[in-house]
Each structure stands twice: as structure tokens, then as C-alpha cells.
Chain A
């Protein structure tokens, strides 16, 4: 019981620290790729401290509630994700619950941005949701392939089954959905070439237009959480999780660096191009993977 409480306290803290670290790391690596010196790796922390000491404007109750809800939802998802051996709440709901709790992030931002009453916000949110529909289609096929391959909707079971045999990215039928997941991971992270949600040059940072001060700080933290979550999900489903948190975090960082390398060299797609891409190649590959899993039942 005490162990359970310790886990509940620890795992969001790990997610927070790693997420913030990932943000700083991405800025540093991007700078290096651009032949710049780049900011110190603690720059996101400095930004968050500054933002918490600024005044801010509120557009109403829902404006506050939405951002709180989105960050809280992301924190709760961490409790359901196994980080190494830490999975405090995964007993009370499996992968489906995670999939649904991941709704809270975009939904909360969408609600509070909706009250901000700015067309840029609305355009950003409509892009967010359309892009989410775009990558959910392959993602659902991938998750269904994994779930019906391991005959379980509990992510802990899936991780355990991988550690008994080997990573599902390296096992035959599941390698196909794994590749599809790698293809849609930039879209899930909202990085380039899918950085069309907050495109500062066209819609002036989209849903974040009216966020300033502590609102922007909470939004930044939420972004850190969500990028950690979407990579940790990949690591759990395809890279076999890990037996202790250290290795797990190593895997997360490695996958994130790969994504940053993609992010640094690509331009931004238009939304139709993004949807067309997501519904063509990743969806086809994921569909093929589901068929293969359906054929080669264990």
C-alpha cells in the first residue's frame, strides 16, 4: 500500500522531469544541427520560472478549467503507463483507458482555447482535432493489432509478454505495425513536419494565442507530459518496456532523439497533405499489420 502511494507520487515526477529535459534537449540538438551554440539545456525551466512570475490575462472560468483539466489528464495517464516497474493504477483499466485519458490533453486545451474567442485559436484547434483524427486511424489499427496479438487489453500484460519473449518491434507480425507507429510518431508529438497545430508564422501559435504567464507555463508542462507519454507508449508497446525505470528512460530518450533529427530537417506540411499522408502510408501499413496478425494468430 505504501509502495503504491510512493509509486503514485514518483511516476508523475519522473514524467515531468524527463519531459522538461526532453524539451531542453530538443532545443539544444536543433541548435547544434543548425550550427548554432543553442540555449542552455535548462532553458525550458528558466522559461517556466519566468512565466510563473508574470502577470496573465484570463478569459473566464472555462479558460482556467480547460488548461487545468488538460494537464491533470496528462498526469493521470502517467499513472496508467508502466514506467519500468512503476504502474500504480494500471490494475484499474488497460490500454483502452489510456487511449481515452489521452483525450483530456487536447480536449482541455480545445475547451479553454474556445473560450479565448480568437479565430487563430479556433483554426488551431480544428487543425489539432483533424490531425488527431488523421493519426488516430493508423494508431487504432496498430493498437488493435497489438491487443489482438497478445489477446489482452492490459498494457502490463503486453509488456510482460514481450519481456518473456522479445521486443514486438523485432517479432514477425508486429514489426509491421511498429513501423507504422514510427511513421506517425511525429504527428502524435506535433513536431515537424506535422507542426501545423501551433504554426507561429501562419496562425500565431494556434491554440496558445491567448495564453500568457502561468497559462503558457501549464501548457508547456502539458506539452512535456504528452510528448513523454506518446513516446513511453511506443516504448511499452514495441520496445518491450523495461524491467527498471533507468533503461526505460534511456529508451525514451533514444526514440525522442530520433524524432528530433526528423524534426530538425523537415519543413511543415499543410493540413490536407498531412491527412493524405497519414491516411495513405501509415494506415495501409497498419492495416496490413492487422491482417497479418489476424492470419498468424498465436
Chain B
């Protein structure tokens, strides 16, 4: 490892740790997940980037949403995202989470994922190739360096809007709010109206 990298390690170990050890929660939605097994196995070895899949959200800090998100899946996605420890980074994979993709007029598929949880980066395309995942990872590194991958801070700051959006789609959620949703309610009404 070269010199300025070593200096970086000494200066801000936490940030470097978050960069080089991205544990992706193994959450399969849609067709995009078919690209993940080749990218974590011998063909495109994701582990050299420090990206490995882990089984539970408690151990993960990277959330790949791989494909279209139906309303039922959205509930699981929100639950999983809220159970991940901070800092956590979300990447939408494929065009469906971006704008609905080919399900743009479906009655049961949410179109814009970032209305419900914050998304730090998108991988466009249908399907993106596995190399695109690594492009996204390296891009995420630069974002973490510039402290622009702060979706979790945004979620914390604007939680009541996110919660309002989620409840607008899903009805009342089973679990209590993660952060406090008290605040300027008239602003809440104005935003959601």
C-alpha cells in the first residue's frame, strides 16, 4: 500500500474502514440478483474490493436493491434498512428502482425508491453487467471520501417525511418509528399534500 494511502489510514481510519470493508446484505429482489452470484464468486471476485455478502442486516453496511420493488417488497426493504447499523449505504441496481423501468405503469410496483428510503447511488441499465457493480463500488468509495454518501444522515434528519411516504403506500406499519416523528406537523402536511 502506497504512502498517501497509509497517511489516510492514520488520519481517518474510520472512513477508510467503511470504504474498504463493504458488507452487502444478501437481500434478493427482482431479476437483478442473478448478477450478484457471478460477481461474488470466482469469475468477478468481489471480495478483492472488500465486498462480501452477509446474511443479516445487523452485520451489513451496503444495501444493493437489485430490481423492481413491489409494494410488499418495499415493506421488507424498509425493515431491513432500518435494522442496518449506521453508516449504511444504499445502491439501486437496475433501472426499475430508479423510475419503475418496464414496470412504470404497474399497479403494484413503486416507481421511485428514493421516495421511501435514501439511495446513495444508482446503477442504470437493464441488466447492468457485474462490472457495473464494481464501478459503483469504486464510485461509492469516492463518495465516502468526499462525505457525500450520507443517505443515512438524510434519513435521520428527514425521517418523518420518509415515514409519511411509507405509510402513504403501505398503510400503518407494524413497527414503531425508528426516530422521533414529532416536529412541525404543518410542514409535514404541506409536504405530503
Residue contact A209 to B58, C-beta cutoff 8 Å = yes
> Is A31's CB within 8 Å of the partner chain B?
yes
Within 8 Å CB of A204, what residues of B? 55-56
Query: B85 near A47 (CB under 8 angstroms)?
Result: no
Least CB distance from B36 to A in Å reads: 14
Residues of B close to A56: CB separation below 8 A: 85
A54: chain B residues within 8 A (beta carbon): 61, 85-87
The answer on a CB contact under 8 Å between A49 and B14 is: yes
Contacts of A211 in B (CB 8 A): 58-59
Judged by a CB distance under 8 angstroms, whether A210 is at the interface is yes
Interface string of A37-55 (1 = CB under 8 A from B): 1111001001101111111
Interface string of B6-38 (1 = CB under 8 A from A): 000000011011101101001000000000000
Question: How many A-B pairs fall under 8 Å by CB?
Answer: 84
B: which residues have CB within 8 A of A? 13-14, 16-18, 20-21, 23, 26, 41-42, 45, 47-48, 50, 54-56, 58-59, 61, 83-87
**Cα of A53 to Cα of B20 in the assembled complex, Å:** 13
| 7 A-B pairs (CB sep. < 8 Å) | A38-B45, A39-B47, A46-B17, A47-B21, A50-B20, A200-B26, A200-B55
On whether A57 and B45 interact (CB within 8 A), knowing A204-B55, A212-B59, the answer reads: no
Q: Does A296 sit within 8 A of B, measured CB to CB?
A: no
A237 to chain B, nearest CB (A): 35
Interface residues of A (CB under 8 A from B): 27, 31, 34-40, 43, 46-47, 49-57, 200-201, 204-205, 208-213, 216
Residues on the A chain within 8 Å of B18, using CB? 50, 53
Q: Which residues of A contact B59 (CB under 8 A)?
A: 205, 208, 211-212, 216
Given A46, A49, A55, A201, which contacts B85 in the complex, CB threshold below 8 Å?
Answer: A55
Are the C-beta atoms of A39 and B56 separated by less than 8 Å? no
- Measured between beta carbons, the chain A residues less than 8 angstroms from B85 are 54-57, 212-213
